[in-house]
């Protein structure tokens, strides 16, 4: 290769290097979403939290504590799933779930809060409201079932009611499950297509689906008027159901000053042989269930 051609080759190569070096490097995509939580880890962490809920149950029974947990949020936000995981390992006599339907004719004659006051916990109980008196600030407002004057009166007075509860010794926890628009769309479509979920889709859900921003405004007004020092609102992000359940239970436990109650070790007594007889079933008098599985 002669010197002239060599210089030209070097110049072209240098030019290529210079050109490529001037190109702005592509920004790496930053993942805002956390790594997916595996089923195995989720179930392991859930079991730990459910053990703590059992300790909480013992403490509530022992001390006579009264606890109210209010779960609110848009349709499909995951309230039912969170409540189910909270209550599946504890006694329904201690943990009561309240999900009131629309008031009947006679119930409409009662004061608005009366139906909810009747469900408040006795000593030694935990009451979980799957939607609560805040229906007035949410569904009833958005769907136009209540006048604006009644809603404003409610928003003005409900903090007084909640302060009375807290001053009476009730532990009141208010949780708002926040689901995003895209995730809500996905969950609605799941309910439409899956026969195991279709029962969750009510006519009210369909009517309210299109009113996303109306619900957002109602939520913001509710927070502004009713998040107070005695009972603040806590927002739980719920696009990831598994994480929302774990974070929700963990948070609720953190707000209650429970302690593990020490119990004497249980020993099963010896079975008595008195009045012993052949207690095998008489298959002439009863029929066995067919064992298909």
Q: Are the beta carbons of 155 and 124 closer than 8 angstroms?
A: no
- Across the range 38-66, mean pLDDT stands at 98
Would you state the pLDDT for residue 33? 63
pTM recorded for the entire structure: 0.84
> Tokens 């689906």 label which residue?
209
Mean of pLDDT over the chain: 90
Q: Which residue has the higher pLDDT, 18 or 127?
A: 127
- Does the pLDDT at position 92 exceed 80? yes
pLDDT at 199: 82
Q: If you search the block for the tokens 């079975």, which residue do you land on?
A: 271
Overall size of the chain counted in residues: 293
State residue 226's pLDDT score.
98
- Mean pLDDT lowest among 135-144, 189-198, 281-290: 189-198
Q: Could you tell me what percent of the chain has a pLDDT over 90?
A: 77
Phi-psi region of 179 (alpha: psi -120 to 50; beta: other; left: phi over 0): beta
Report pLDDT digits (tens) over 251-277: 999 999 999 999 899 999 999 999 899
The pLDDT value recorded for residue 104 is 85
Q: Which residue has the higher pLDDT, 202 or 38?
A: 38
What is the average per-residue pLDDT within 67-84? Answer: 97
State yes or no: pLDDT of 94 exceeds 70: yes
Long-range contacts of 46-52 (CB under 8 A, 24+ apart): 46/85, 46/245, 46/246, 46/249, 49/246, 49/249, 49/250, 49/253, 50/85, 50/88, 50/89, 50/90, 50/249, 52/253
Nearest residue to 203 (alpha-carbon basis) of 147, 143, 144, 138: 143
Specify the CATH number of the domain 39-254. 3.40.50.300
Please report, for the chain, the start and end positions of each structural domain, with discontinuous segments joined by +.
39-254
**Local confidence band at 22 (pLDDT 50, 70, 90 cut-offs):** low
Return d(Cα 225, Cα 218) in angstroms, integer. 11
Share of the chain above pLDDT 70, in %: 89
Q: What is the pLDDT of residues 156-201, one digit of tens each?
A: 999 999 999 999 999 999 999 999 999 999 999 999 888 888 888 8
pLDDT band at 27 (very low <50, low <70, confident <90, very high): very low
């Amino acid at each position: 290769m002669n010197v002239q051609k060599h210089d030209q080759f070097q110049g072209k190569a240098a030019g290529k290097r210079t050109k490529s070096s001037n190109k702005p490097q592509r920004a790496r995509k930053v993942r805002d979403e956390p790594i997916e939580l595996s089923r195995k880890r989720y179930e392991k962490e859930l079991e730990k939290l459910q053990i703590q809920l059992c300790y909480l149950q013992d403490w509530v029974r022992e001390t006579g504590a009264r606890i109210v947990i209010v779960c609110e949020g848009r349709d499909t936000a995951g309230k039912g799933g969170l409540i189910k995981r909270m209550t599946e390992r504890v006694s329904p006599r201690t943990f009561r779930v309240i999900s009131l339907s629309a008031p009947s004719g006679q119930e409409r004659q009662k004061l608005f809060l009366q139906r909810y006051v009747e469900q408040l916990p006795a000593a030694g109980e935990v009451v979980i409201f799957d939607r609560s008196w805040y229906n007035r600030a949410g569904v009833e407002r958005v769907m136009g079932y209540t006048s604006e004057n009644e809603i404003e009166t409610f928003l003005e007075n409900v903090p007084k009611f909640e302060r009375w509860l807290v001053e009476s010794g009730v532990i009141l926890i208010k949780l708002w499950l926040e689901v995003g628009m895209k995730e809500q769309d996905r969950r609605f479509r799941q309910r439409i297509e899956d026969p195991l979920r279709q029962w969750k889709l009510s006519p009210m859900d369909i009517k309210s689906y299109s009113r996303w921003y109306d619900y957002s405004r109602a939520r913001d007004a509710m927070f502004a008027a009713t998040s107070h020092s005695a009972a603040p609102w806590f927002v739980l992000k719920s696009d990831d159901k598994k994480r929302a359940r774990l974070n929700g239970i963990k948070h609720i436990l953190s707000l209650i000053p429970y302690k593990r109650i020490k119990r004497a070790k249980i020993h099963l007594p010896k079975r008595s042989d008195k009045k012993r007889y052949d207690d095998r079933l008489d298959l002439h008098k009863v029929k066995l269930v067919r064992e298909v599985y």
